């Protein structure tokens, strides 16, 4: 028998052009799907959620992340301070990758998933990179995310940084996990991932592209995040990064290119023609001082751009604000990008990147009930149909997330996790981080 839930007295932002904004309405859910929404009151339901004084939005989409990044927060590393992005990789992230074990994979997935859920993200695309913990790593990550109750798309990030065998093992692990998780329903979905074109050769890229096509899953790769990627391809192949990826068959509607900071107009034209998407990570790009991706130019070409955090700040509201401001600064133009474009990047466009926009990314009948309820009682000015998108980007933050539903189930209630206590998540994360830090020392 179907279980029904109704959210009432809600100010609803559907993120759907046709349905628009409903200033006082309801959402009716049966099992895991939205069956009805509109103005007025809902019919009776098994579970009633009063959203008076709240703004209700679709669960936010994190288009690119690294869950294990949470274990490095606050770590004091005894390293020579890096002066460019290549040194950040060599001195920070690659040693971390090599120190990761399966316990770290699961604990970081648990902790980062909890952090994202508390901040309003209900779906993320994650790539795990642990060359010394390849086998069964994706199972460990999936266990952590499912315990929290968040929706995920997972992949192992293949690289030939040490040797070719490392990449082959990563490919084998990815294919195994994808085949074992081929299901229509469920919180965990799958994709293929390559680290970046400067750490894999042509053969490995082609193999991964073929595997992704045969298994009918998306493929993602870090693309011209730093100049090291661009220079590698120019020096070794005489091609810019996206030119090489195009030659090797990576580009296409199932491809998600992360970052795309150092790209030119020709490369953007290639992306636009192919139907590939881009995952923009503005806060991470600032942290690593790699530059500012030309997102306004991407949007002008009709390229789908999602919003990610790259494993750093998991609050999507902070990432939205950064996306709004950094491009205005970089272009010396306060009108180069608006709140509406940024909100779309964090909702329906993020879902479109991975071909799941028919299921999530907006509030519509027939879509999965991934819903965020924001406490609007601290908002200092009126919330109207004209002002609400501005408030979502400029006023709200993760601290305003009251309740979260995923698959129609309440997984965060009154800012508290429902499947596992916040205290238990913190304990497990701290223990795992301590172990990792000791190995790094």
By three-state DSSP, how is residue 277 classified?
strand
Do 76 and 48 belong to one domain? Answer: no
Tell me, yes or no, whether 42 and 65 share the same domain: no
Res. 44: pLDDT tops 90: no
Same domain, residue pair 285 and 193: yes
Q: Which domain holds residue 369?
A: 4-58+362-415
Looking at the structure of the chain, the number of domains it has is 2
d(CA 87, CA 84): 6
| 310 and 240 both lie in a single domain | yes
In a domain, 429, yes or no: no
Q: What tens digit of pLDDT does each residue of 337-350 get? A: 999 999 999 999 99
Helix (H, G, I), strand (E, B) or coil at 420: coil
Average pLDDT value for residue range 73-81: 89
pLDDT at residue 184 tops 80: no
On the 0-12 / 13-18 / 19+ scale of CB atoms within 10 A, 140 is buried
Please say if the pLDDT value at position 119 is more than 90. Answer: yes
pLDDT at 1 over 80: no
pLDDT at 77 over 90: no
The 10 Å CB-count burial string (b at 16+, else e) for 236-272 is eeebbbbbbbbebbbbeebbbbbbbbbbeeebbebbb
Same domain, 207 and 299: yes
Q: Do residues 125 and 207 share a domain?
A: yes
* In a domain? residue 432: no
Same domain, 129 and 275: yes
Mark whether 165 and 188 lie in a shared domain. Answer: yes
Does the model's pTM come out above 0.85?
yes
Is 132 part of any domain?
yes
Report the 10 Å Cβ neighbour count for 209. Answer: 22
Are residue 303 and residue 388 in the same domain, yes or no? Answer: no
Q: Cα angle vertex 222, ends 83, 177, to 5°?
A: 130
3-state SS record for 109-144: HHHHHHHHHHCCEEEEEEEECCCCCCCCHHHHHHHH
Based on the domain organization, do 143 and 110 belong to the same domain? Answer: yes
426 within domain boundaries: no
Q: By percentage, how much of the chain surpasses pLDDT 90?
A: 95
């Amino acid at each position: 028998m179907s279980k029904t839930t109704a959210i009432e007295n809600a100010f609803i932002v559907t993120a759907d052009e046709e349905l628009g904004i409903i200033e006082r309405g309801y959402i009716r859910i049966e099992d895991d799907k939205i069956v009805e929404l509109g103005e007025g009151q809902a019919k009776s339901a098994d579970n009633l959620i009063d959203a008076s004084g709240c703004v209700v939005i679709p669960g936010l989409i994190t288009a690119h992340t690294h869950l294990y990044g949470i274990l490095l927060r606050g770590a004091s590393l005894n390293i020579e301070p890096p002066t460019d992005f290549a040194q950040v990789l060599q001195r920070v992230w690659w040693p971390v990758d090599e120190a990761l074990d399966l316990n770290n994979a699961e604990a970081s997935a648990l902790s980062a998933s909890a952090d994202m859920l508390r901040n309003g993200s209900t779906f993320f695309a994650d790539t795990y990179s642990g060359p010394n913990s390849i086998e069964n790593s994706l199972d460990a990550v999936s266990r952590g995310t499912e315990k929290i109750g968040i929706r995920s798309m997972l992949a192992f990030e293949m690289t030939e940084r040490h040797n070719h065998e490392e990449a082959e093992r990563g490919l084998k692990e990815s294919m195994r996990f994808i085949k074992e998780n081929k299901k229509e329903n469920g919180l965990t979905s799958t994709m293929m991932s390559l680290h970046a074109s400067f750490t894999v050769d042509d053969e490995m890229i082609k193999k991964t592209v073929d595997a992704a096509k045969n298994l009918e899953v998306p493929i993602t790769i870090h693309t011209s995040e730093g100049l090291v990627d661009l220079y590698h391809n120019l020096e070794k192949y005489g091609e810019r990064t996206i030119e090489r990826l195009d030659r090797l068959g990576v580009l296409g509607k199932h491809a998600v290119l992360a970052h795309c900071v150092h790209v030119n107009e020709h490369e953007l034209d290639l992306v636009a023609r192919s139907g590939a998407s881009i995952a923009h990570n503005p806060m991470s790009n600032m942290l690593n001082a790699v530059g500012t991706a030309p997102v306004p130019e991407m949007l002008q070409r009709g390229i789908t751009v999602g919003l990610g955090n790259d494993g750093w700040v998991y609050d999507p509201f902070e990432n939205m604000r950064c996306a709004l401001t950094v491009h205005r600064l970089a272009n010396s133009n306060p009108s180069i990008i608006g709140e509406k474009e940024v909100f779309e990047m964090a909702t329906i466009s993020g879902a479109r990147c991975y071909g799941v926009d028919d299921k999530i990314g907006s509030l519509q009948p027939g879509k999965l009930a991934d819903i965020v309820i924001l406490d609007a009682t601290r908002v200092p000015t009126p919330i109207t149909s004209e002002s609400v998108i501005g408030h979502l980007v400029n006023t709200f933050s993760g601290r305003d997330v009251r309740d979260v539903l995923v698959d129609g189930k309440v997984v965060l209630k009154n800012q508290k996790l429902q499947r596992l206590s916040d205290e238990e998540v913190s304990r497990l994360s701290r223990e795992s981080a301590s172990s990792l830090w000791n190995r790094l020392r």
